[in-house]
């Protein structure tokens, strides 16, 4: 009897090992590899193009091309200047080299690795290589988000629709800026955590491994730590609910038999996953020390905490979303959909807890919305997926030659139409230099041609361009690094910018002899009315004033 049981187990194991689970488009199967059930799988040509693959190809091509229509980010310039400074000096700055108002003040250049990459791309061919690279980063971000949706058991059509939805919701963050790396790694973290619900294997250790580059690319790495902590907390809630309920009901689709079970990689119990998560989280926290600031980098993100922080008060992307703007209807609508969506599976708190926290953070700061969107997608996917949806990709029926050829023609037409829009408008960023209509190009050239080197007061969002164009010959009053300048100084800047009482005292305190401001702004009107100042140049958007005494 024992021998019969052993033989039966051997046969079952052999069937599981030889079973074939085809992936979309034929991926995952060796060409011509024989399988026990190969006769049950419809033969597909390697060039066959299914409608599902067509949808995904059009989606990601559209996301990639939309990046070319984004405006020139004002902070890109001082990022380029920092990368240039690092390459020219061979050192990462620890004190401010770019302004005369905060020169020598401690500065955490937390994006130094991204800035080196940006300046290398710029030197390789101008602005276009930068757009291409960051478009690829953004596209990969939402490709990972779509893989997460497929992982929870959602179909390809629904996955395509939700991915498009969250991508459009997050477009405000699509710029040539280091923060794009944070969205990419956050999406990767969520994918790996969701994957760990079905299999706990070595892939989970990619979390601490990718933390090493992330912490040197952008301070948004803290969102990865937050996600892991909230995911772990949600797992605890799931465990308590399951223990109280006394059954094994789960929101996750089942695994195919034989996929890692014999190797001990599947850990269905909370105790096993908990040990794995704690080890990975500990390693990820330790990995944050691998940066020039050391342990101090863990404290840096908290400098942005508090509603009275200058960044929160004055910088648009750190402020609450303005629901009077149509763009934020997508965000507001997403919250309403999530509230009314009735799920056919139990609520998974490992996703619900991060979603609740990120919803609150997004209502306080626009900059968090892309993180919110990435987490909202699989949560909604679980609510929409059927109660017994398999984790296996659907098997494709055999495609007729005519059907496949039609899909290829449709793909070519879609790609040609979308690509043609790049050449039908001047908004597309295709040149070696970005669009410059929002920057004081003419006024900067006037300063350089006339050799003016006195202390210059400048508008906040022009500081980065002035650093890139005039450093080291000249230094700026302020630029897009409010965390370095500090809240008291930013309040002084706002006194001048808003034309409040005491604006003359601020200019005198810092020895300002020139001012480049928006020509239709309140500061320009005050300087024009003052006998101390003279307008010496006016451009399309800027006006340059000089003290008469100088």
pLDDT tens-digit profile of 240-274? 887 787 654 555 444 333 333 334 344 445 667 77
Cβ atoms of 4 and 358 closer than 8 Å: no
User: Is 305 domain-assigned?
Assistant: yes
d(CA 179, CA 218): 6
d(CA 216, CA 210): 11
d(CA 225, CA 88): 34
Strand partners, 533: 547
Confidence of residue 344 (pLDDT cuts 50, 70, 90): low
Note the pLDDT of residue 106.
92
What is the number of structural domains in the chain? Answer: 2
Q: Which DSSP state fits 106? A: B
Domain ends where: 368, 384, 400? 384
Q: Same structural domain for residues 346 and 453?
A: no
Cβ atoms of 176 and 129 closer than 8 Å: no
Cβ atoms of 358 and 368 closer than 8 Å: yes
Q: Largest Cα–Cα distance of the chain, in whole Å?
A: 108
Domain ends where: 364, 384, 404? 384
Note the pLDDT of residue 416.
93
Q: Name which residue leads in pLDDT, 175 or 544.
A: 544
User: Is the pLDDT score of 16 beyond 80?
Assistant: no
CA–CA distances in Å: residue 38 to residues 11, 183, 257, 392? 18, 41, 17, 17
- Considering the entire predicted model, what is its pTM? 0.85
479-483 mean pLDDT: 91
Note the pLDDT of residue 388.
53
Q: Same structural domain for residues 370 and 457?
A: no
User: Is 496 domain-assigned?
Assistant: yes
User: Is the pLDDT score of 435 beyond 60?
Assistant: yes
Q: State the chain's mean pLDDT as an integer.
A: 83
Q: Same structural domain for residues 373 and 466?
A: no
Q: Same structural domain for residues 486 and 337?
A: no
Residue found by looking up tokens 């969250």 in the block: 166
Note the pLDDT of residue 261.
39
Q: Same structural domain for residues 84 and 224?
A: yes
Strand partners, 516: 458, 544
Q: Same structural domain for residues 367 and 490?
A: no
Q: Name which residue leads in pLDDT, 425 or 391.
A: 425
Q: Same structural domain for residues 447 and 366?
A: no
Q: ∠ CA(203), CA(295), CA(362), 5° rounding?
A: 65
Cβ atoms of 435 and 75 closer than 8 Å: no
The rounded percent of the chain whose pLDDT value lies above 90 is 57
User: Is 123 domain-assigned?
Assistant: yes
Q: Name which residue leads in pLDDT, 19 or 407.
A: 407
φ/ψ of 471, rounded to 5, equals -75, 140
Q: Same structural domain for residues 373 and 464?
A: no
User: Is 529 domain-assigned?
Assistant: yes
Note the pLDDT of residue 299.
79
d(CA 451, CA 441): 16
Domain ends where: 384, 411, 428? 384
User: Is the pLDDT score of 137 beyond 90?
Assistant: yes
The residue range of the domain holding 497 is: 441-547
Instruction: Kindly report, residue by residue over 484-512, the tens digit of the pLDDT.
Output: 998 899 999 999 999 999 999 999 999 99
3-state DSSP assignment of residue 542:
strand
Confidence of residue 400 (pLDDT cuts 50, 70, 90): low
Q: Which two tokens stand for residue 544?
A: 């340059």
Q: Same structural domain for residues 362 and 454?
A: no
Q: Name which residue leads in pLDDT, 300 or 428.
A: 428
User: Is the pLDDT score of 74 beyond 60?
Assistant: yes
Task: Give the least confident one: 36-50, 78-92, 126-140, 482-496.
Answer: 36-50
User: Is 466 domain-assigned?
Assistant: yes
Q: Which two tokens stand for residue 360?
A: 């609150």
Q: Same structural domain for residues 375 and 470?
A: no
Q: Same structural domain for residues 243 and 178?
A: yes
Neighbours of 322 (CB within 10 A): 10
Task: Give the least confident one: 268-282, 458-472, 477-491.
Answer: 268-282
- The sheet that has 533-538: what strands, in order across it? 456-458, 514-518, 542-547, 533-538
Q: Name which residue leads in pLDDT, 251 or 2.
A: 251
CA–CA distances in Å: residue 534 to residues 83, 199, 499, 528? 36, 70, 17, 7
φ/ψ of 83, rounded to 5, equals -60, -40
User: Is 37 domain-assigned?
Assistant: no
Q: Same structural domain for residues 334 and 243?
A: yes
Helices and strands (H and E) in the chain: how many: 21, 4
User: Is 2 domain-assigned?
Assistant: no
d(CA 154, CA 390): 9
User: Is 287 domain-assigned?
Assistant: yes
Cβ atoms of 515 and 493 closer than 8 Å: no
68-80 mean pLDDT: 94
């Amino acid at each position: 009897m024992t021998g019969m049981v052993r033989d039966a187990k051997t046969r079952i194991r052999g069937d599981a090992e030889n079973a074939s689970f085809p992936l979309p488009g034929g991926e995952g199967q060796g060409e011509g590899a024989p399988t026990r059930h190969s006769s049950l799988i419809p033969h597909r040509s390697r060039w066959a193009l299914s409608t599902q693959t067509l949808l995904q190809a059009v989606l990601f091509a559209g996301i990639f091309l939309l990046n070319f229509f984004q405006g020139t980010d004002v902070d890109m310039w001082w990022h380029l200047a920092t990368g240039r400074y690092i390459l020219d000096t061979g050192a990462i700055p620890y004190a401010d080299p770019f302004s005369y108002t905060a020169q020598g003040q401690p500065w955490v250049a937390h994006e130094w690795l991204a800035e080196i990459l940006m300046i290398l791309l710029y030197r390789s061919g101008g602005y276009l290589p930068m757009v291409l690279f960051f478009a690829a980063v953004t596209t990969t971000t939402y490709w990972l988000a779509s893989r997460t949706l497929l992982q929870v058991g959602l179909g390809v059509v629904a996955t395509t629709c939700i991915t498009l939805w969250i991508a459009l919701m997050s477009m405000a963050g699509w710029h040539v800026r280091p923060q794009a790396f944070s969205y990419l790694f956050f999406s990767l973290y969520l994918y790996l955590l969701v994957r760990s619900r079905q299999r706990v294997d070595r892939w989970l250790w990619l979390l601490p491994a990718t933390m090493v580059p992330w912490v040197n690319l952008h301070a948004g790495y803290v969102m990865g730590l937050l996600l892991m902590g909230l995911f772990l907390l949600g797992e605890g809630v799931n465990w308590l609910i399951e223990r109280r309920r006394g059954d094994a009901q789960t929101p996750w689709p089942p695994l195919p038999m034989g996929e890692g079970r014999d190797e001990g990689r599947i850990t269905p119990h909370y105790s096993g996953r908990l040990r794995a998560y704690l080890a990975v989280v500990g390693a990820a926290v330790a990995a944050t020390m691998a940066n020039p600031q050391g342990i101090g980098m863990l404290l840096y993100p908290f400098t942005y905490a508090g509603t009275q922080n200058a960044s929160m008060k004055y910088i648009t992307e750190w402020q609450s979303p303005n629901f009077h703007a149509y763009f934020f209807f997508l965000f507001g609508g997403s919250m309403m959909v999530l509230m009314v969506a009735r799920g056919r599976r139990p609520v998974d708190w490992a996703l619900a807890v991060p979603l609740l926290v990120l919803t609150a953070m997004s209502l306080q700061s626009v900059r968090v919305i892309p993180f919110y969107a990435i987490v909202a997608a699989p949560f909604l996917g679980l609510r929409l997926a059927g109660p017994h949806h398999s984790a296996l990709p659907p098997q494709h029926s055999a495609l007729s030659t005519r059907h496949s050829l039609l899909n290829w023609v449709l793909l070519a037409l879609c790609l040609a139409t979308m690509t043609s829009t790049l050449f039908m408008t001047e908004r597309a960023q295709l040149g070696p230099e970005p669009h410059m209509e929002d920057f004081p190009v003419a006024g900067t050239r006037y300063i350089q041609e006339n050799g003016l080197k006195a202390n210059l007061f400048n508008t906040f969002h022009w500081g980065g361009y002035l650093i890139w164009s005039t450093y080291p010959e000249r230094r700026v009053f302020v630029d897009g690094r409010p965390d370095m300048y500090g809240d008291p100084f930013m309040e002084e800047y706002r006194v001048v910018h808003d034309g409040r009482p005491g604006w003359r005292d601020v200019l005198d305190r810092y020895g300002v002899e020139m001012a480049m401001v928006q020509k239709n702004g309140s500061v320009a009107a005050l300087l024009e009315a003052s006998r101390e100042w003279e307008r010496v140049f006016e451009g399309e958007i800027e006006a340059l004033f000089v003290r008469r005494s100088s």
